[in-house]
Structures are given as C-alpha cells and as structure tokens.
Amino acid sequence: MRNVSASYDSKNLILKNVSMNVKRGTNYAIVGASGSGKSTLLKLMNGMMIPSSGVVLYNYQKPDLKNKEYKKSIAKIGYIPQTLGLVKNTSVLENVLIGALPRLSNFKSFFKMFPKEEIEKAHEVLDLVGLDTKSNRKVHMLSGGEKRRVAIARALMQKPDVLLADEIVSELDSVTAREVMDVIKDAQKKFKLTAIMIHHDMTLALEYANRVAVIQEGDKILEIGVDGDQIIDFQTGNLTQEEILEMYNEPEK
Amino acid sequence: MNQKNNLVIGAIIAIVVVMSYDVGVDPIAFVEGLPNLGIVLKEMTEFESEHWGTAFWAMLETIEMAFIGTILGVVISLPISIFAARNISNKYVYGPLRALLAATRTFPSILWAILFVIVVGLGPFAGILAITLYTIGFISKLQYESIEAIDYDPVEATTAIGLSKIQLIRYVIIPESAPHLLSQILYMFDYNVRQTSILGIVGAGGIGFYIINYIKFFEYGKAAVFMLVVLVTVLAIDWASVKIRDRYIMKAQHGQQVKPMKN
Ligand SMILES: Nc1ncnc2c1ncn2[C@@H]1O[C@H](COP(=O)(O)OP(=O)(O)OP(=O)(O)O)[C@@H](O)[C@H]1O
Ligand SMILES: [Mg+2]
C-alpha cells in the first residue's frame, strides 16, 4: 500500500500516509499501542474499509467489496477480526464450514449440502488447531483460546493465500498465546501462507515474524526485518531502536 | 422534586376522575349490582356435570385451532421478518411490510375473525385464519426486532469472507436470532389459546360458542363448566411453557440446565 490515509468520519485521520509492502510468503507483524490504527490498517487491506487517499493493492487489485472480480479473491483472504466474529449458537464445525461457503452455490448452502471433501477439509483444519474432538460443541461453550482456534480454522477453511489476524493472542496468557501462535506457524508452513498479524506485544512479534512494522498514532514509525534473534534490516521513522523496544516490551504477566 | 411528583400524581387523579365522569363510570350501580354477581356465582357452582364431555371436546378443538394458527403464523413470519429487518432488507421493502404488519396488529383477533367468518363462513376455519393473521403480525415484529439486535461482529467477519446474502442469512442471521424464537412461539401459543377461547362468540369455532350461548340464556351452571375447562387448560399450558422454557431455552442460552441455588 502506498501513502494510505484513512478516517471513519472524514474529520480525524486515523492513518496518515502509511506505506507498506508485504511480499508473498512473508510473516508480517504489525505492532502498536491501543488506538494507534492497527485494526483500521487491516480493514483497509481486505477492503472492509476504503482509504480516503492513497492506494491499497492486493495482487494488483484494489480491495473493494462492490467490485465483483474482487469479491472472488476476498474469499481467499483469511480474515480473523479482533472480535473473532464467530456465530455463537452454532457448532464449531458449522462455524468452520462458513469459510467454505464462497465455493458453494446458494442453493446447496441453503440446504447445507456440503460436498464430502469440504467436510473432510473442515475436520482436517480442526485437527490441525487441535479441536476436532469438539467439532459438535456450540461455540459459546468454548474457552477463549478454543474460540480463537475456531476462528483460525475458519480462516484456513477459506484455503487462503493470505491470513490477516487481528490481535488473536492478546487476551491470552503467554503459554496459551504461544500454543495458538504455534498452530498458526504450522498452518503457515503447511499451506504456504503469507501472514499479516497484529500484535500487542513486541516480544511475540519479534519471535514469530520476519518483518515487524510499528504503528504509532496512525504513522508507521519503523519497520524491521528479523531473522531468528537477529535484526537484519532496520528502517526507522523518528525513534531509536532501544526506545521502541523499551516502549513495547511489556513486562510478562 | 417531591412537590413536582405530587403535582403529577394529583393531575393524573384529576384526569381519571374527569374521564370517568365522561364515560359514565357509576360506582353506585356497581354496589347495587353486587348481589347479582352473588346470584351468578352461586348458580355457577351448580355445575351440570353431563356437560364435561362436550366441554372437553370443545376445548380440544380450541387448542387445535390455536396450534394450527400459531404454527402457520410462525412459518409465514420467518421469511417476512427477514424482509422486514432494517439491517438486511431494502427500505422500499421493509417500509410497506412493516406498515402492513402494524395494521394486522391494530385490531384484536376477534375482529379479524368476524371478517373471516364473512369470507369463509362460520366455523373453526375462520378462527384459524384470524389467529394465523394475528400471529404473523406479532411474531414477525418480535423476530425482525431480534434480527435487528443481533451481534454485528459475525456479520462483519463473514462479509469479509465473501458470503452472499442468502448464505449470510442462513448461517449467521437465523442462528443468531433463533434463540428467542422458541420462547416467542410458546408465548404466542399461550396467548392464542386464550384468544381462540373467545372466537366462538362471533361464530369462528372453539369453546367460546358454548360459553356465550349459555350466558345469553342465563344458564350459568352450564357456562361455568366450560369456563372452568378454559381456566384449567390455560393454567396448564402456562405451567407447561414455563417448564419448556426452563429446560430448553435457558439451557441453550447458558449451556446448562438452571437449577435452583442451594445454600
Ligand atoms: N468504527 C469506528 N468509527 C469511528 N472511529 C473508529 C472506529 N473504529 C476505530 N475508530 C477509531 O480509530 C482509531 C484507531 O482504531 P483501531 O481500531 O484501528 O486501533 P487499534 O490500533 O486496532 O487499537 P487496539 O489495539 O485497541 O485494537 C481509534 O482512535 C478509534 O477510536
Ligand atoms: Mg485493534
């Protein structure tokens, strides 16, 4: 994306001239304080929001839900919003199958006539996130970590090229958070995904990503490339590396 | 503060008095008439027991009518409520539809029953149509309101996945708004049994036909048998719907059965 600005009310700019380039296969992390505009950034990437200026391009296409062509490719952008957006009164399996619906005709989906291979695929992704034994459970009866796994499974069910995940582990304790991150890491390897993930916590971002962008009050203040424990690339805005690491290294709870 | 409250209460009392005078409320007539009530009540206790059988069958017919009307009404309401919900439908559709639904709710079902007696003739069928229409008006409203109140997060999330409108309705809107449906249906059935009990007054079938006729001919003992059957039935249905609600709805909403706390 190039020089993107965005706002909800045409008065306050939430994002100011943000540019970002995510290469295929990257494991990209976005870090920033609460309210800095991270979720907004993600919504711009899949077309849930339209930038007020600048351009977003996904596979040389502008994400725009009104565009019929784009609607086909959005089915392959796995999106896990901050609130997860699960349907609480239906089963885990049915929530996961929602990810397959864009591949199904209206008629077949109305009567829940899923082809056998889709059901098998659903069990496969549920198995991957470690929830296959609970596939008949209602979603509202799951724990917070389990709900996140369902949302991951639903996104994987989309057979995505890209996975957008908004603070998927922020509310979890650090052990569960790492478990969930490992699930995503495995899935990424298995399906060769590009991942763009928002984190609240710099430590996790550095641990799992190979590029980390830091957003502060709607500005991208720096972007770093990571390889193992090694920082290999460093593009700053106006803060030093130490200052930034200090800001986002929250004490372990 | 307090003075203002007193003023409001005083004004309300004054309005009630003036209005009562206007419509001819007559406390003296009430007191003078009390002995009549006594006579009626006394005669009512003289049940004529050979009528229990008739009363039972008439009540059964009433329940059947209410049941058919409720189910038909609910089935028709489901698609209507989707078209009437502001967050899914288009304003040229939901506008007129909501006005129409409001119109069906304006008149009590007994007025609709009179209309349907004219259309399809005397008998239970007219009553069923009246109950169905009234149920459509009510359940559609309750349902479109619960559709409008559903959580927006899953709608947003699934839109981003690229679901079509039909898929959205089938997999998100209906399951998210359904938990209230069962309790609404129970309430409606309960209400419809009471309504159907009086539809007989206008010849639209059900037990009300007997009650009104025996009262007309001062046969309170006979009327009482039928009224008692209505009373017992309504209480039983009321009790049963509380049981069903506790068992299924609470369970569905909280994931467990509600048990009274012990301490
Ligand atoms: N729907 C909305 N309407 C208006 N303002 C919004 C809306 N959503 C977010 N904002 C505002 O935009 C700013 C950035 O929000 P955003 O959700 O992108 O932050 P965030 O970085 O994701 O924060 P958090 O870490 O708390 O999730 C905030 O000031 C917020 O108040
Ligand atoms: Mg956010």
Domains of chain A and CATH, by start: 2-248 (3.40.50.300)
- Interchain CB contact of B170 with A (< 8 Å): yes
Q: Determine the pLDDT at residue B95.
A: 92
**Would you call A78 helix, strand, or coil by DSSP?**
strand
Which pLDDT score, from 0 to 100, does residue B33 have? 85
What are the φ and ψ backbone dihedral angles of A64, each rounded to 5 degrees? -155, 115
| B201-221 pLDDT per residue, tens | 888 888 888 888 888 888 888
Query: Residue A64: how many CB atoms within 10 A of its CB?
Result: 14
Tell which one of A38, A84, A199 to mutate to probe ligand 1, the residue whose CB is within 8 A of the most ligand atoms: A38
Nearest by CB to residue A87, choosing from B154, B159, B160, is B154
> Residue A47: what pLDDT?
83
Cβ of B162 within 8 Å of Cβ of A71? The answer is yes
The Cα-based distances of A249 to A35, A167, A239, B210 in angstroms read 17, 16, 15, 81
- Cα of A169 vs centre of ligand 2, distance in Å, is 12
Q: Would you say B217 and B148 are in contact if contact means Cβ atoms under 8 Å apart? A: no
ipTM field:
0.82
What predicted TM-score, i.e. pTM, was given to this entire model? 0.76
Cβ(A75)–Cβ(A235) below 8 Å: no
β-strand partners of A234:
A224
CB contact B242 to A (< 8 Å): no
Residue with tokens 């003075």: B3
Q: Is B160 near chain A, with CB under 8 Å?
A: yes
Number of Cβ within a 10 Å radius of residue B148: 14
Taking the CA of residue B187 and the nearest CA in chain A, the distance in Å comes to: 22
- β pairing state of A230-236 and A15-18: unpaired
Q: Which residues of A198-227 are buried (b: 16+ CB within 10 A; e: fewer)?
A: bbbbbebbbebbbbbbbbbebbbbbbbebe
Instruction: For residue A54, report the distance from its CA to the centre of ligand 1, in Å.
Output: 19
Q: Which residues pair with A235 in a beta bridge?
A: A223
Tens digits of residue pLDDT in B56-99 = 898 999 999 999 999 999 999 999 999 999 988 888 999 999 99
Count Cα atoms within 13 angstroms, Cβ side, for A38.
Answer: 27
Gap from B82 CA to chain A (nearest CA, Å): 15
Query: Which tokens sit at B87?
Result: 């967050």
Distance from CA of A246 to the nearest CA of B (A): 34
Burial A124-142 (b: 16+ CB within 10 A, else e): ebbebbebbebbebbbeeb
Ordered by start, the domain boundaries in chain B are: 50-254
The residue among A80, A101, A167 with the most chain B CBs within 10 A of its CB, best to mutate, is A101
Per-residue pLDDT of chain A (253 residues; tens, 9 = 90+): 555 666 666 667 777 777 778 888 888 889 888 888 889 888 888 888 888 777 788 776 677 767 777 777 788 889 999 999 999 989 999 999 999 998 888 888 888 888 999 999 999 999 888 888 888 899 988 988 899 999 999 999 999 989 999 988 887 788 888 888 888 888 888 888 889 999 888 888 888 888 888 887 766 667 776 666 666 666 655 555 565 565 555 443 3
Q: Do B167 and A109 lie within an 8 Å CB cutoff?
A: yes
Is the distance from CB of A33 to CB of A22 less than 8 angstroms?
Answer: no
| Distance separating alpha carbons of residues A56 and A5, to the nearest angstrom | 10
Whether pLDDT at B262 is above 50: no
- Contact yes or no for B130/B204 (Cβ under 8 A): yes
Helix, strand, coil percentages in chain B from 3-state DSSP, rounded to 5: 85, 0, 15
Closest approach atom of ligand 1 to CA A38: 21
- Architecture (CATH level 2) of domain B50-254: Orthogonal Bundle (1.10)
B254 or B36, which is more confident:
B36
- Report the candidate in B237, B213, B258 with the shortest Cα–Cα distance to residue B67: B237
By C-alpha distance, the chain A residue nearest B176 is A89
Q: Which of B161, B249, B250 to mutate to test the interface with A (most CBs of A within 10 A)?
A: B161
Q: Do A81 and B176 touch (CB under 8 A)?
A: no
Q: Is B185 on the interface with A (CB under 8 A)?
A: no
How far is it, in rounded angstroms, from Cα B9 to Cα B88? Answer: 44
Size of interface A-B (CB pairs under 8 A): 81
B79 touches chain A (CB under 8 A): no
Using an 8 Å CB-CB cutoff, list chain B residues near A46. Answer: 160
CA of A78 to the centre of ligand 1 (A): 21
pLDDT tens digits, B129-171:
999 999 999 999 999 999 998 888 999 999 999 898 899 999 9
Closest CA to A167 of A80, A47, A41: A80
Q: Where are the beta strands (DSSP E) in chain A?
A: 2-6, 15-18, 27-32, 53-55, 77-80, 162-166, 194-199, 211-216, 219-227, 230-236
For residue A110, the chain B residues in CB contact (below 8 A) are: 166-167, 170
CA of A85 from ligand 2 middle (Å) equals 14
Q: Give pLDDT tens digits for B150-160.
A: 888 999 999 99
Question: Which residue's C-alpha comes closest to atom 25 of ligand 1?
Answer: A34
- Cα–Cα dist B43/A144, whole Å: 66
Residue B252 scores a pLDDT above 80: no
Strands A162-166 and A194-199: parallel
Angle, helices A144-157/A174-191, rounded to nearest 10 degrees: 10
Shortest Cα–Cα distance, A236 to chain B (Å): 32
For residue A98, the chain B residues in CB contact (below 8 A) are 158, 161, 163, 171-172
- Could you give the CA distance from residue A13 to residue B234 in angstroms, rounded to a whole number? 61
Amino acid A81: pLDDT? 92
